[in-house]
Structure 1
Amino acid sequence: MLGTFCGITFFITYFLYTEGQSYLEYGLIISCTGSAGTNEILFTFNNEVAAYIDLNEKKLFFVVPDFVQVPDFVQTQTIFSTHPLETINIDFIEITNFCKDSFFRTLSLKASETLEPPWTSVYPRNEVKLNVKNTLVCLVSGFFPPPVRVSWSKNNVSVTDESTFSRYYPNKDGTMHVISRLSFIPEEGDIYSCSVEHKALQQPQTRTWVVEIKEPSTGPSVFCGVGLALGLLDLATGDFFIAKGYNYNDTVTLTYVLLMLLLMPYTFALQNLL
């Protein structure tokens, strides 16, 4: 006789239907428990019954909210027809194998798995300012199936423990996306990395982000100042030569010669600035 409960942790798959399209939601950790003298084995999640096996009928039944729809063929499918269940007085190993086998058979009813690799992008949530707290966002999308593993580093030092990780969200094409966030205080030159691991990737997919604060350019101001100064100089030089009795053509020629000579040092200065 089995006097204690057996507990085994598995993953269960729920079918979600939204606006006529079906999606899969993964990652619900449940337990499989049963004991001698009962005719059911329960699958629970967060202390709530998610599904149960009727040992008399040898069938799996889902106990889920109305908005979570499970196909009829899953609800009524005989999932354990090969294991002898004439009596509930089975030992610990047998009931453990029963949990495993029945659950694997349930999962095998789902469609064949197609691997889709993720694509990853890293960006700050707000405008970056030195020494002002901000948040880096690592968006991981387009992958299937879950899970993915996301890790963060700052200057090659792991800071994953300081990050947060959202639940898995479905995309319209049936793939999934997830978001990881990391709070940080920008300091010039710091290098942050977000690395993603998934079974469709041969190696981790890493995206880096470097703190670069761009200072306002002084080039436009210099151009404006030089242009204004040369314009005033042109006007003053023309008036001077006309007052001295030079004709208009000579005045223009002399003015532009002077402007060219005066402009040369500014040209070199602007090249160094830009």
Structure 2
Amino acid sequence: EHIMDQAVFCQSENPRGEYTQNYDEDEMFHVDLDKKESVFRLKDFTDYTSFDAQGALGIMSTCYYNLNILRTSWNISAGENVAPEVMVYPEDPVQLGEPNTLICLMNSFFPPIINVTWLKNGKRVVDGVGETDYFPTKDQSFRKFHYLTFVPDEKDEYACSVEHYGLEKSPVVKLWSADVPSPPSEAAQTVVCALGLAVGIIGIIAGIVLIFKGMRQNRDFRRGVN
């Protein structure tokens, strides 16, 4: 079973709202409300489908109108703030000196208002960053991804700093650094070599003992036969 749906939200704070169409919870496209155009997640989608952004803009206008009525004419309290679950991980297996992308995932939060800052060794990074839209989930919460392109170095420490209304202590900071095993020290290599040599000598001695034991058993057997 596959599900195609459209997701719409509007609110009084930035971002003012969002319109997306999704397939099995993966975004196919969203409408850029400022540029008033449809933006497909994959360019290949435009080969077999299209969407007139004016339809989404009309839906958003209705959403803003209804929101204003609810705020001014009805005694409706704001929704409960739900803090995001935050994870930081690399897109590809880490190799020092090889370009990669760090991903900061914020999941299961509400409302869809969140501020994210990337840090490298404690300093803010603005180059090589990117982000997705807010992805709605079945439980009426949202998830969002932020990206940072980087070249791993064992001396560097990266952090994804997240601010949200639901966090008791804001911002929450998730750290990441390249976890590359250190080469063994010379002392450790010497110990390993010594152990290997000792095991080899023990194996040789055991082999010689078994050979002599076999020769003795064979000699005793011949004497018994004679």
Fold shared by both chains (TM-score > 0.5): yes
2:185 matched to 1:213? Answer: no
Label 1:190 to 1:129 Cα distance change in 2 as closer, same or farther (>3 A): same
Q: AA paired with 2:137?
A: N
Alignment partner of 1:232: what SS?
A: helix
1:65 maps to which residue? 55
Label 1:64 to 1:190 Cα distance change in 2 as closer, same or farther (>3 A): same
2:208 matched to 1:236? Answer: yes
Label 1:226 to 1:24 Cα distance change in 2 as closer, same or farther (>3 A): farther
- Give unmatched runs, 5+ long, in structure 2: 19-32, 37-52, 218-226
2:128 matched to 1:138? Answer: no
- Alpha-carbon distance, 1:205 to partner: 1.2
For the residues of structure 1 that align with 2:77 and 2:6, how far apart are their CA atoms? Answer: 12
Higher relative contact order (CA 8 A, sep 6+): 2
For the residues of structure 2 that align with 1:209 and 1:152, how far apart are their CA atoms? Answer: 11
Q: Percent identity?
A: 25
- Give unmatched runs, 5+ long, in structure 1: 1-17, 31-44, 49-62, 80-101, 246-274
Q: AA paired with 1:25?
A: F
1:44-63 equivalences under 5 Å are 45-46=33-34, 48=36
For the residues of structure 1 that align with 2:57 and 2:67, how far apart are their CA atoms? Answer: 23
RMSD: 4.4
2:151 maps to which residue? 185
1:150 maps to which residue? 116
1:1-274 equivalences under 5 Å are 19=3, 23-26=7-10, 27-28=15-16, 45-46=33-34, 48=36, 65=55, 104-105=68-69, 112-202=78-168, 203-214=170-181, 227=199, 229-239=201-211
2:41 maps to which residue? none
- Native 8 Å contact 1:189 1:212 kept in 2: no
| Structure index of larger Rg | 1
- How many positions carry a matched residue from both structures? 176
For the residues of structure 1 that align with 2:138 and 2:196, how far apart are their CA atoms? Answer: 52
- Alpha-carbon distance, 1:65 to partner: 2.4
Label 1:126 to 1:22 Cα distance change in 2 as closer, same or farther (>3 A): closer
Label 1:19 to 1:25 Cα distance change in 2 as closer, same or farther (>3 A): farther
Alignment partner of 2:206: what SS?
A: helix
Label 1:24 to 1:112 Cα distance change in 2 as closer, same or farther (>3 A): farther
- Alpha-carbon distance, 1:198 to partner: 0.5
Q: Given the two structures, how large is their TM-score scaled by the length of structure 2? A: 0.59
For the residues of structure 2 that align with 1:113 and 1:128, how far apart are their CA atoms? Answer: 40
Label 1:243 to 1:112 Cα distance change in 2 as closer, same or farther (>3 A): same
- Native 8 Å contact 1:196 1:206 kept in 2: yes
- Alpha-carbon distance, 1:232 to partner: 2.8
- Alpha-carbon distance, 1:212 to partner: 1.9
- Native 8 Å contact 1:191 1:208 kept in 2: yes
Q: AA paired with 1:187?
A: D
- Native 8 Å contact 1:25 1:168 kept in 2: no
